[in-house]
Chains A and B, each alone.
Chain A
Amino acid sequence: QVQLVESGGGLVKPGGSLRLSCEASGFTFSDHFMTWIRQAPGKGLEWVSYISNNGITIYYADSVKGRFTISRDNAKKSLHLQMNSLRADDTAVYYCARDGAIEGWFDSWGQGTLVTVSS
């Protein structure tokens, strides 16, 4: 079955960096576009970034553009999010999710990893 497992979250000071990873299994990773979505404590879902199956097409939300970098390693079936210049309002649970179709819906989600930005 499809499984997505995020890791790399933790406590970081404002201005710091963190790299999130998402390990995929149970499907042909290189066939699917992937995304990162976050949810601040007690708040709604916020899209962060999106990457095509071959890594060529990449989109970012305005709130993270220039600070976050999405990437993937199809050989290792992994998705990454490099987060730099972190701010308090980046505090959230970060989910990786699989796109069910190109620019479609997200049909499988990981359990999420918590990122806390605080001094």
Chain B
Amino acid sequence: SFELTQPPSLAVSPGQTANITCSGDRLGDKYACWYQQKPGQSPVVVMYQDDKRPAGISERFSGSNSGNTATLIISGTRPMDEADYYCQAWDSSTVVFGGGTKLTVL
């Protein structure tokens, strides 16, 4: 079955760029999207169709998807970006989520 793999954690300093990866077999042939979830809150989509940013999401967020890897890029990371991030894609009438990456802004 199709699986998406994310690093469990990533730590960056404020102002640095965070690159959160999501790997899956030929993921680049599908659309990937990304959700941000802060403690005690529901997930919020921050990127869809690989590189489209929903209204209200900071321009510091961008995305790419090629080959086997989708990447969520957060430029100029701020303490408010500290959260869990999940990638998601569709495969054979099934929604697949990555295991999530906990982003820590030190």
Q: Is the CB of B42 within 8 A of A50?
A: no
Over the window 79-117 of chain A, the binary record of Cβ atoms lying under 8 Å from chain B Cβ atoms (1 yes, 0 no) is: 000000000000000010000100111110111100000
CA distance A73 to B44 in the complex (A): 25
Name A's B-contacting residues (CB within 8 A): 35, 37, 44-47, 50, 59, 61, 95, 100, 103-107, 109-112
CA distance A105 to B48 in the complex (A): 6
Contact of A104 among B31, B84, B94, B97 (CB under 8 A): B31
**Secondary structure class of chain B's binding surface, majority of residues:** strand
Within 8 A of A (CB), among B90-106: 90, 93-100
Closest to A107 in B: B45
Closest to B41 in A: A111
Instruction: Name, among B43, B48, B49, B95, the residue most crowded by chain A CB atoms within 10 Å (CB to CB).
Output: B95
CA distance A36 to B103 in the complex (A): 25
